[in-house]
Copies of this chain bind each other. A is one copy, B any other.
């Protein structure tokens, strides 16, 4: 499973190497958090990252401190919310590979969740950042499913993102303006 990035643990007990790794991993998540905050502040959309699911096994009731807990695998995507009455749902991932996005980054039950969202007529997509190319793509879930179902694949080539996906402009505010793509191509 993928352990969650962007939690406090990475800031507190890490080596220098881990900090670099942690920061690198947090870039897209940070950008999206700032973007979603911008959308909320301007009443453009209401989108949040869901908290990481954690299984709590021991609690000190005097201090309400959790003393033992474990990470759980998420059963849905990380982000959801509303845009003009419509339901939005997406997963966001980074990769350091240049030529393809490895599908091991997405859990099977997350793909199932995305299919269920499509059946309910939600706006569902994947945001992938190719770190070494400095490119961030939005790929609609329908196009993701089309590619996965056709072949027994372990990754999606960068060329498919170029062909079917939409490059998201990275700017100052909003940082990763994915709503622009939704407005223009999301059928809203």
Most B C-beta atoms less than 10 A away, residue of A59, A61, A84: A59
Q: How many copies does the complex hold?
A: 2
Given A43-B116, A64-B3, A85-B121, residue A52 in contact with residue B51 (CB < 8 A): yes
Binary interface profile of A, 51-63, with partner B (CB < 8 Å = 1, else 0)? 1111111110100
Q: How many residues of A contact B (CB 8 A)?
A: 49
Q: Does B65 contact A121, Cβ atoms closer than 8 Å?
A: no
Q: Does A86 contact B84, Cβ atoms closer than 8 Å?
A: no
Interface residues of A (CB under 8 A from B): 3, 7-9, 12-13, 40, 43, 45-46, 48, 50-59, 61, 64-71, 75-76, 80-89, 113, 116-117, 119-122
